[in-house]
Structure 1
Amino acid sequence: MALLVVLFVLLALAVLVAANWYLWRRLFRDTTARPGPVRRGGAVLIGGGWALAIGALVAERAGAPFWLQRTLAWPGFLWLALSIYLLLGVVVGEAVRPVLRRVLERRAARAAEPAAVPEREPVPVPAKAKPEPAKGEAAKGQAQDPPPAPAPSRRLFVSRVVGGAAAAAAVGTVGYGTYGVLRGPGVKRVTVPLAKLPRAAHGYRIAVVSDIHLGPVLGRGFAQKVVDTINATQPDLIAVVGDLVDGSVKDLGPAAAPLAGLKARHGSYFVTGNHEYFSGAEQWVEEVRRLGLLPLENARTELPWFDLAGVNDIAGESEGLGPDFTRALGDRDPARACVLLAHQPVQIHDAVRHGVDLQLSGHTHGGQLWPGNLFAAAANPTLAGLERHGDTQLYVTRGAGAWGPPTRVGAPSDITVIELASRRA
């Protein structure tokens, strides 16, 4: 097993080095005529960017001083996102290069063709003596008219156009995706019919928020935006479905403080996500309880019209605090509708076996950074949105924040208001 881990690490390192060498070659070596400061600067940029990115990841997981985490997080995590789209840009550029080169070759060939000139009778021109310039004047003329600088080669020109376009597209994509996260999540509204829901609960609204990921990048101001957005929807109940934080209560307690302002008629509930178990899950459970949220640790509460249950995240199994569906759901009345809060969509299989009507989850971020959605979809039964699994419906929110790069591409953040509908209404 240890040998396999070492081989995997070496393979991943080789792929990373090869990809970044290719990136440096296309953006810096191929766009310059000869070695110089641009090539050296490109190597420093790429190497330094990855040093910051790895440093940010290690500092967060190792619990480094929070000021150091914040110092490394912004440049390091943004470089992670930027490098993805720079690499995608230069790969797409491989298809553009031959086309652009062919266009330039045809244009050059047309320009080299002699123009057809109609024949005319020669007109004799009397010879005129032309005075020879003085030596000083000739020297002066040469000094005033230096030979033109040679134009860049066709290959160099194509490399500069393609490299510049790839860089501009990557910077624009990451910039817009980061702006989308920092301005705060939008509100998505989804109606979910439940067969067992009584008529009196028709139109009951649950605000679902997941994956806020408060940490070195997203702090107190972002938490306040989330709280304000949720409260503006005037929900009957609020469900915080895990991955609230990336850090300890000591470092992020002030950032999470705005959660005390959440307002709903039937209260706010919380279940753990996998990132809570990287950050001190038991301490965070107590902290959210202090802030006024009600943690559902493999537990259930009976609301007037349906049961609301919650299970711990799968990551808690390493601490003996994993999900326990029997404890949360085993003795409930099956005639009542049941809504389950579970961070990861893969928990749907246990929810189906226990007769849950609706599971509310997060975790996937909708892929966060395209084409990450392809990998996230392969690892989860539902990437985002509402789907049916047997007699159980599963809704997956894309989440309010972002992990790592504070950037989303093709997966905008959201807070979802689930409106329950009774089929008896």
Structure 2
Amino acid sequence: MVIVFALLALTVLVAGNWYLWRRLFRDTTRGPGVMRRVGAVVVAGGWLLAIGALVAERSGAPFWLQQTLAWPGFLWLALSIYLLLAVIAGEVVRPLLRRLLERRARTTADVREPEPVPAGAPSAPAEKPTPEEAPSASSASSASPASSGTADQPDGPPAGPDPSRRLFVSRVVAGAAAAAAVGTVGYGTYGVLRGPRVKRVTVPLAKLPRAAHGYRIAVVSDIHLGPTLGRGFAQRVVDTINGTQPDIVAVVGDLVDGSVKNLGPAAAPLSQLKAPSYFVTGNHEYFSGAEEWVEEVRRLGLLPLENARTELPWFDLAGVNDIAGESEGQGPDFTKALGDRDTTRACVLLAHQPVQIHDAVDHGVDLQLSGHTHGGQLWPGNFVAAAANPTVAGLERYGDTQLYVSRGAGAWGPPTRVGAPSDITVIELASMRT
């Protein structure tokens, strides 16, 4: 099944890129030439860079090589998605534009057609042809109907669509598609590099004491420090969190994409967090050396909650490892984190993936804080994320348990977001007791 899926994915990828090349380069040029070859190099080269960036990151290649490949490779991933979507949308516009041009051409031809001469009106005298213009007997004979079957036939429209008009339409549609894709990716990349915006959400908890009303938890997930997002980005995230003046900070996984050796300096600004800060692993930590990162965040002043719980003055704060840790014998253990707690106290759980909500419900958790989905990151990726997660973004209730899913602060792969802006969420707990 894996081989079949891989072959199917490869077929779709090749077909999609051939279609892009055809619409953007072949259909916009006259005959084989330099631009068609340039187009083939651009499309194929972009995917080679993208695949190289993915392989370099996962294989632990030298960090300078990861950085070299990441920007062009990952940006091509995003750009190719929106080029394909824009070109497909252009298929709707293409026939409409062609008909408009054909109608305009017919209107212009009708305007230029000479008016008929009224009956009885004197006709203009024909000019006497010059000797050079007078046809010779031999030429007249060769142009006679007997020798030519088309000499007396009127000029008619060329068979099929006008090639020049078809070329013009292809160029307009391709140019518009390229402009739309570049603009979309450019704006989406600017949104990520600018840094996450603060989102505020009030969550009422039935068991929360009145004295804890208004307690603020800054939730940040999916920072994804790596080859594209480095120390400067981490500093913006930390400054934004500190600016909200939370009571505690919850870092709910996917902090990094790389080793402590390569990204330790990038994560250093986390030591500047002013409020007590807690951390749980995400799936990407297990691609990057989870044990080393747990120790590194501890050194930076954060408290890792590895299937553990801490009792805060007004509620319990618990954390479980990510599901990806199961392959290393470090998976989530809800019983260890929650089994012996006082169930009369409110409980807030940090768990990277929203799918862990079902275990949270079984263990009587009041509020689970998660990330992982990125809100889809690149539209229409939100539909894919919705198929794999119970909640893609925002606050939802599952029985007596509420689940809040952050869209995340950073981005994985392309440093780009479309339709899923990055956020740091300040959860304000509200007591329901009078």
Tell me the TM-score normalised to structure 1 length.
0.91
Find 2:183's aligned residue among 172, 182, 191: 172
Find 1:262's aligned residue among 270, 273, 296: 273
- The residue identity in structure 2 corresponding to 1:372 is G
Identity percentage of aligned residues: 84
Find 2:258's aligned residue among 240, 247, 257: 247
CA distance in structure 1 between the partners assigned to 2:122 and 2:371 by the alignment: 87
- The residue identity in structure 2 corresponding to 1:251 is N
Find 1:363's aligned residue among 343, 368, 372: 372
1:386-425 matches, cutoff 5 A: 386-425=395-434
Please state whether the residue corresponding to 1:188 is helix, strand or coil: strand
Q: Gaps spanning 5+ residues in structure 2: where?
A: 133-161
CA distance in structure 2 between the partners assigned to 1:352 and 1:384 by the alignment: 18
Q: Gaps spanning 5+ residues in structure 1: where?
A: 133-150
Find 1:96's aligned residue among 93, 100, 110: 93
2:9 aligned partner: 12
- The residue identity in structure 1 corresponding to 2:273 is L
Shift of 1:10: 1.6
Shift of 1:127: 8.7
CA distance in structure 2 between the partners assigned to 1:10 and 1:330 by the alignment: 46
Shift of 1:117: 3.9
Shift of 1:186: 0.1
Find 1:46's aligned residue among 28, 37, 43: 43
1:177-208 per-position Cα deviation (integer Å, ceiling 9, x unaligned): 00000000000000000000000000000000
Residues 1:26 and 1:328: Cα distance change in structure 2 (over 3 Å): same
Tell me the TM-score normalised to structure 2 length.
0.90
Find 1:111's aligned residue among 104, 108, 112: 108
Shift of 1:64: 0.1
1:298 aligned partner: 307
CA distance in structure 2 between the partners assigned to 1:210 and 1:126 by the alignment: 88
- The residue identity in structure 1 corresponding to 2:208 is L
Pairing 1:86–2:95 present: no
1:2-401 matches, cutoff 5 A: 4-113=1-110, 114-115=112-113, 117=115, 153-264=164-275, 267-401=276-410
CA distance in structure 2 between the partners assigned to 1:285 and 1:22 by the alignment: 46
- The residue identity in structure 2 corresponding to 1:268 is S
Shift of 1:12: 1.2
Shift of 1:118: 8.1
- The residue identity in structure 2 corresponding to 1:81 is A
CA distance in structure 2 between the partners assigned to 1:274 and 1:129 by the alignment: 90
CA distance in structure 1 between the partners assigned to 2:274 and 2:282 by the alignment: 22
CA distance in structure 2 between the partners assigned to 1:416 and 1:107 by the alignment: 55
Task: Give the length in aligned residue pairs.
Answer: 401
CA distance in structure 1 between the partners assigned to 2:6 and 2:427 by the alignment: 43
Calculate the aligned-residue CA RMSD, in Å.
Answer: 1.8
Residues 1:124 and 1:242: Cα distance change in structure 2 (over 3 Å): closer
- The residue identity in structure 2 corresponding to 1:321 is Q
Shift of 1:218: 0.1
- The residue identity in structure 2 corresponding to 1:77 is F
Shift of 1:406: 0.1
Residues 1:107 and 1:205: Cα distance change in structure 2 (over 3 Å): same
- The residue identity in structure 1 corresponding to 2:341 is R
Please state whether the residue corresponding to 1:153 is helix, strand or coil: helix
1:139 aligned partner: none
2:148 aligned partner: none
CA distance in structure 2 between the partners assigned to 1:159 and 1:314 by the alignment: 49
Please state whether the residue corresponding to 1:366 is helix, strand or coil: helix
CA distance in structure 1 between the partners assigned to 2:242 and 2:4 by the alignment: 50
CA distance in structure 2 between the partners assigned to 1:256 and 1:247 by the alignment: 11
CA distance in structure 2 between the partners assigned to 1:421 and 1:156 by the alignment: 63
Shift of 1:123: 9.2
Please state whether the residue corresponding to 2:200 is helix, strand or coil: strand
CA distance in structure 1 between the partners assigned to 2:168 and 2:289 by the alignment: 54
1:287-307 per-position Cα deviation (integer Å, ceiling 9, x unaligned): 000000000000000000000
CA distance in structure 1 between the partners assigned to 2:73 and 2:126 by the alignment: 77
Shift of 1:124: 7.6
1:148 aligned partner: none
CA distance in structure 2 between the partners assigned to 1:318 and 1:397 by the alignment: 25
